[in-house]
Amino acid sequence: MSTYIINGGKKLEGEVKVSGSKNASLPILAACVLNNGITKLYNVPNIEDTKVMIEILKYLGCKVKKSNDKIIVDARKINKFEIPEELMRKMRSSVILAGALLGRIGKATFSYPGGCDIGARPIDLHLKAFENLGININKNTGYIICKCDKIEPNKINLDFPSVGATENAILASTLTSGTTVITNAAMEPEIVDLQEFLNKAGAKISGAGTNEITINGVANLKNVGYKIMPDRIEAGTLLCAGAITGGNITLKEVIPKNIAPVIEKLEECGCKIDIKKDEISLQAPKKLKATSIKTMPYPGFPTDLQAILASVLTVAKGTSIIVENIFENRYKYASELMRMGAKFTIEGRTAIIKGTRKLNGADVEATDLRGGAALLIAGLIAKGKTRINNIEYILRGYENIDIKLNMLGAKITKEV
Ligand code: EPZ
């Protein structure tokens, strides 16, 4: 397991380019299976999760070429339809391939993705959407075996606006001969990116970004090149790094409206934020002010930035309240921050943070992807040295985050 060593106390200054979105790249890489041809993707982040997704695509029979942020997927020879357990376990969001395989060949076998560090992560909504589309599901073995002669376009109402279930329903119904309507759909920007990609490849989908998405099935997709949207969670993470260090930073190649709720919270903390078309500049105050957040489905405050903003709030003046409404176990990072002197009280889904004057460097463990990023943010201002172990969690979702932060003046080294 590798380690980040951070010498805290440096103000971050300067500008940095945000990478392509992990959570848009994964469903769009899966969507390449729907094209019986060649797809070129640009701005794909070179992170562990996209590497695993590429490994699975190759296992299924795709030819995949990678050069920097460009990925070329040749999906003309899909010769498997089951996703191996060890790959499912490496990345639970590979369940998104099920919709693409069912849409392309009418079969998909995979194991229960299983819970992860932040919650049970059930897939009941995915399976219910598949059943609505006439897909037969056999769950008697440890595997989930899905098959159908033909996908039957239908209405699908999601009990909860699940991002993954919305994406899987879109993928499964793109290549049909009728109309599927998803209601109570997730409205995340990554779903808009998936729609834009599929429509550029010849699909006929509308409504992404609202809670009702209409898919008019088409016979097939065509070869296409597509640039992945910027990563809004990385953008929010970098803004929080600027805020906690009293810094003055500018992010390039971002979409400000995608992180509007995060910008609003950082302004409540006293940050001055200027927005240009694809740039965000943040000037942090000398002393941050406490605020409160409730995580919600988009366009509410994103659960993926809950831990990271919590880090900022540990040194804000006053008491902050956080309510985590999306995942049931997303405070594991708090005990690690407390080793650095943060003052947390966790009551169920609520965290109460009493701002403290400073944090102290300590040896801490990353507990999950975003919890690990929260420790990185805290280490930037902690007095002395902070060692973060198990940074593999962080490397799953952030491309060169240490290099980016060091370019802004941080002092982070990696110990393999
Ligand atoms: C996506 O996960 C993201 N991952 C997550 O980001 C993000 O936190 C989440 O959406 C919410 O925004 C990717 O896009 C790869 P959900 P997903 O289905 O699709 C419950 C990160 O850090 N639920 O919207 O798995 C579920 O338990 C990751 O980058 C069911 O009950 O999220 C959770 O409580 C973490 N049944 C809630 O819905 C289901 O069938 C939201 O889950 C599916 C979900």
| Average pLDDT for 131-152 | 93
> Which numbered atom of ligand 1 lies nearest the CA of 23?
14
Give the closest residue (by CA) to ligand 1 atom 1.
163
pLDDT tens profile 37-50: 999 999 999 999 99
Give the pLDDT of residue 35: 98
| Average pLDDT for 4-23 | 97
Cis status, amide bond into 299, omega within 30 of 0: yes
CB atoms within 10 A of CB 77: 10
**Across the chain, how many H-helices and E-strands are there?**
14, 23
Give the pLDDT of residue 112: 83
User: Residue 34 above 90 pLDDT?
Assistant: yes
CA 123 to ligand 1 center in whole angstroms? 9
CA 304 to ligand 1 center in whole angstroms? 10
Of 188, 209, 227, the position where a domain reaches its end is 227
Q: CA angle, 396 as apex, 390 and 402 as ends, to 5°?
A: 70
Residues framing ligand 1 (Cβ under 6 A): 22-23, 26, 93, 119, 121-126, 160, 162-165, 186, 303-304, 326-327, 369-370, 397
**Could you tell me if 94 and 172 lie in one domain?**
yes
**Could you tell me if 7 and 37 lie in one domain?**
no
Give the closest residue (by CA) to ligand 1 atom 15.
23
pLDDT tens profile 316-328: 999 999 999 999 9
- Is residue 407 very low, low, confident or very high in pLDDT (cuts 50, 70, 90)? very high
Q: Which amino acid is at 340?
A: M
Give the closest residue (by CA) to ligand 1 atom 27.
121
**Could you tell me if 158 and 256 lie in one domain?**
no
**Could you tell me if 300 and 212 lie in one domain?**
no
Total structural domains in the chain? 2
Active site residue 240: no
Among the listed residues 247, 290, 280, 286, the one whose alpha carbon sits nearest the alpha carbon of residue 380: 247
Mean pLDDT of the residues in the chain:
96
Among the listed residues 133, 88, 126, the one whose alpha carbon sits nearest the alpha carbon of residue 110: 88
> Which numbered atom of ligand 1 lies nearest the CA of 186?
24
How far apart, in whole angstroms, are the C-alpha atoms of residue 65 and residue 58? 10
User: Residue 114 above 70 pLDDT?
Assistant: no
> Which numbered atom of ligand 1 lies nearest the CA of 369?
22
Of 205, 227, 249, the position where a domain reaches its end is 227
**Could you tell me if 153 and 263 lie in one domain?**
no
CA 46 to ligand 1 center in whole angstroms? 22
Which CATH number covers residue 199? 3.65.10.10
CA 161 to ligand 1 center in whole angstroms? 9
**Could you tell me if 188 and 302 lie in one domain?**
no
How far apart, in whole angstroms, are the C-alpha atoms of residue 54 and residue 47? 11
Torsion sign over Cα 336, 338, 342, 346: positive
**Could you tell me if 244 and 375 lie in one domain?**
yes
User: Residue 88 above 90 pLDDT?
Assistant: no
CA 283 to ligand 1 center in whole angstroms? 32
**Could you tell me if 303 and 366 lie in one domain?**
yes
How far apart, in whole angstroms, are the C-alpha atoms of residue 151 and residue 131? 10
Give the closest residue (by CA) to ligand 1 atom 7.
304
pLDDT tens profile 383-398: 999 999 999 999 999 9
CA 296 to ligand 1 center in whole angstroms? 11
Give the pLDDT of residue 181: 98
Q: Which of 116, 146, 148, 240 is catalytic?
A: 116
- Is residue 96 very low, low, confident or very high in pLDDT (cuts 50, 70, 90)? very high
User: Residue 282 above 90 pLDDT?
Assistant: yes
Give the closest residue (by CA) to ligand 1 atom 18.
162
User: Residue 115 above 70 pLDDT?
Assistant: no
Among the listed residues 61, 48, 50, the one whose alpha carbon sits nearest the alpha carbon of residue 28: 50
> In the numeric block, which tokens belong to residue 299?
């366009």
**Could you tell me if 57 and 129 lie in one domain?**
yes
Name residue, tokens 């500049």: 281
**Could you tell me if 53 and 155 lie in one domain?**
yes
φ, ψ dihedrals at 21, nearest 5° = -80, 125
Give the closest residue (by CA) to ligand 1 atom 28.
304
Of 227, 256, 275, the position where a domain reaches its end is 227
User: Residue 287 above 80 pLDDT?
Assistant: yes
pLDDT tens profile 157-202: 999 999 999 999 999 999 999 999 999 999 999 999 999 999 999 9
| Average pLDDT for 60-83 | 95
Q: How far apart are the first and last CA of the chain?
A: 7
CA 225 to ligand 1 center in whole angstroms? 27
How far apart, in whole angstroms, are the C-alpha atoms of residue 311 and residue 371? 9
How far apart, in whole angstroms, are the C-alpha atoms of residue 132 and residue 47? 34
> In the numeric block, which tokens belong to residue 362?
């300590």
pLDDT tens profile 231-280: 999 999 999 999 999 999 999 999 999 999 999 999 999 999 999 999 99
> In the numeric block, which tokens belong to residue 394?
């962080």
Give the closest residue (by CA) to ligand 1 atom 35.
304
> Which numbered atom of ligand 1 lies nearest the CA of 297?
12
**Could you tell me if 384 and 293 lie in one domain?**
yes
- Structural domain containing residue 104: 22-227
**Could you tell me if 35 and 145 lie in one domain?**
yes
> Which numbered atom of ligand 1 lies nearest the CA of 298?
12
Give the pLDDT of residue 118: 84
Q: Which pTM value belongs to this model?
A: 0.97
Give the pLDDT of residue 89: 85
